[in-house]
Amino acid sequence: MTGHPEARAKRASKGRVEYLLRLGDNALVLAQRSAAWVAHAPVMEEDVALANVALDLFGQAKLWLEYAGKLENGGRDADALAFHRDSGDFRNLLLVERPNGNFADTIVRGYFYDAWANLALHALARSSDEHVAAIAAKSAKETAYHLHRSEDWLIRLGDGTELSHDRAQHAVDELWRFTGEMFLGDDVDAEMTSAGIGFDPASLREAWLERIGIAFANAALAQPADDWMQRGGKQGHHSEALSYLLAEMQVLPRTYTGAQW
């Protein structure tokens, strides 16, 4: 790194804000997706479960975004970041913005994310940034339960009826190309890894594949071949699916600025 110390500090903080937005946006977008199931789930218990998972993820998103806003130091709090950014400003993985589809689509999407988040949050719990470590340690406990449930359902669906198996396999095949991005690092990842704040995304791949492989075997699901992987969500290149999600999530605070409960 070169340049004036102040410019250097500013750059470092910009990378960290970017990194926090990624973590917060993953949780926020998946929370909004999960919450959309409320009153639509196949059984009441799952309705409750999806709502609770969403609540945990909203809470995690709030913690990450609050911290991002604080470091950004531009007067934006968690609400401003959640409700007053457009899709190009979102930094979530493409995986979490995939539409809900049927119950199997939702379970498989959640499972791929939960298995990754379980590893990512444990890595972040060792962050040199104490606040990152605290949020990660807290979130990791919640995500452990999410993973427990989504893995359980993956196996039940895959190893269930012919219909549930086919739908689960179809979901796996459709969503697989969105999993590569979780392990693909860029400059921000490299900067955060060398600062001891973050982790190298590629380092999680082996453990993730191992876990997924065992679950697939138990679920009688076939692991797709690694073909072309979609990328770009972390850098702000999203599918139109995110625009529709944001339109619904943001309409109230954007229409009635400053609205309070």
The binding site for other proteins (CB under 8 A) comprises 45-46, 48-49, 51-53, 55-60, 62-63, 118, 122, 130-131, 133-135, 137-145, 147-149, 151-152, 155-156, 211, 214-215, 217-218
Rounded CA separation 133/174 (Å) = 34
Whose Cβ is closer to other proteins: residue 87's or residue 143's? 143
Q: How far, in Å, are 12, 99, 230 from residue 182 at the CA level?
A: 22, 18, 10
Q: Please, are residues 176 and 183 in contact by the beta-carbon 8 Å criterion?
A: no
Whose Cβ is closer to other proteins: residue 30's or residue 188's? 30
Q: Residue 224: which of 210, 233, 213 has the closest Cα?
A: 213
Length of the chain measured in residues: 261
Least distance to other proteins from the beta carbon of 114, Å? 9
Whose Cβ is closer to other proteins: residue 70's or residue 231's? 70
Whose Cβ is closer to other proteins: residue 8's or residue 141's? 141
Rounded CA separation 50/73 (Å) = 34
Rounded CA separation 22/92 (Å) = 5
